[in-house]
Amino acid sequence: MKYLILFTCLISFSTKIFAQDDLLQSLDSISPKKKDFVIATFKSTRVVNAHSIDVVGRRALDFRIAHRFGPFNSGFYNWYGLDGPATIKISLEYSFDGRLMFGIGRSSLQKMYEGFLKYRLLRQTTDGKMPLSITLLSSMNMNMQKKETVTNYIDFNSRFSYAHQAIIGRKFNEKLSLQVSPTLIHYNTIGISEQQNTMFMVVGAGRFKFTRSVALTFEYGLRFKNMTNNYEKYYNSFSLGIDIETGGHVFQMFVSNSIGMNEVQFLPYTSSSWKDGGIRLGFNVSRIFGI
């Protein structure tokens, strides 16, 4: 019995006492267990044209310049699209808390002004208890072309269109992130040949990070025959790109068949197709300022 007690005593001592590594082990037990959010699902708040689930960090101002060149099939005379006609979009986006983000932008296509709100509803956690991130996006677009050029202009309301999106995404590992976004688009006024003001589509997008600073991206906007206007006249938007991140900048370069950069433009109304070389080079530059 005596020996047994001595033995037990020794065992229970030795499990804890030995060396510094065990000191580290007992540290584990007093470390606070916190739930951690998955970070950096994408390099930027956009995949190519579409929004990613990411929101800029707290007190971060994102200044973005986006550019789309002319189509490849315009031939050598037009330097395969580099001569234009090009579209440009400039925007400023900000978040106070890293959760709710807002932005304003202006695109040269249709002289379109845009304001949007983006809210991180759910965040994926590292412990896997929350497997997905969900971000909501709502944007309002104002076509400021001359009255005569706006489709079926009735009154000032005809200038407005809206996009609402629920972005559902997951970072599967350090390299692969995928997301899918059901999208509602609403135009206050539509053309004579069109039947619906409200359209529904789904955007799928993803990235594959192959070094810590460079990632491949893709994005596909799927329209549905009964839920979009002039299904045959337009094409699904498809873009393939590369993200290069250098500290405060993210450079996104890609080829896309879409020329518009706002959801209300590139999702329902992409008018050229990959098949006949109706694709173009484009880039987004994002510069983040801490304010």
Partner 1 sequence: MKKISSILILGLAVLWCNIGFAQNQLKSNNTIIKFFSETPVENIDAICKEAVSILSIPKNQMAFSVPIKCFKFKNALMEEHFNEKYMESHQYPNATFAGTITDQIDFKNDGDYKFNVSGKLKIHGVEREINLPATAIVKQGKISLNADIMVKLVDYKIEVPTLVFNKIAEEIKVSIQSTYNNK
**Contact flag: residue 128 with partner 1 (CB under 8 A):** no
For residue 193, give every residue at least 6 positions away whose Cβ sits within 8 Å of its Cβ, in sequence order, or none: 229, 230
**Contact flag: residue 129 with partner 1 (CB under 8 A):** no
Task: Please tell me the distance from the alpha carbon of residue 106 to that of residue 112, in angstroms, as a whole number.
Answer: 6
Three-state secondary-structure class, residue 108 = coil
3: Cα within 13 Å, side-chain hemisphere: 0
Picking from 242, 234, 286, the residue whose alpha carbon sits closest to that of residue 265 is: 234
Amino acid of residue 278: G
Categorise residue 80: left if φ over 0, alpha if ψ from -120 to 50, beta otherwise: left
Segment 244 to 263, residues that bind partner 1, using CB under 8 A: 246-248
Among 129, 146, 212, 275, binds partner 1 (CB under 8 A): 212
Beta carbon nearer to partner 1, 20 or 226: 20
Q: How far is the CB of 159 from partner 1 (least distance, A)?
A: 35
Percent of residues in the chain assigned helix, strand, coil, to nearest 5: 20, 45, 35
Segment 143 to 182, residues that bind partner 1, using CB under 8 A: 174
**Contact flag: residue 233 with partner 1 (CB under 8 A):** no
Beta carbon nearer to partner 1, 55 or 267: 55
Q: Specify the length of the chain in residues.
A: 291
Beta carbon nearer to partner 1, 16 or 147: 16
Q: List the Cα angle 160/68/46 in 5-degree steps.
A: 70
Query: Taking CB under 8 A as the rule, which mask of x and - marks residues 24-63 in contact with partner 1?
Result: x-xxx-xxx-x-x--xx---------------xxxxx---
Site residues, partner 1 (CB under 8 A): 1, 4-5, 8-9, 12-13, 16-17, 20-21, 23-24, 26-28, 30-32, 34, 36, 39-40, 56-60, 98, 126, 174, 212-213, 246-248, 288, 290
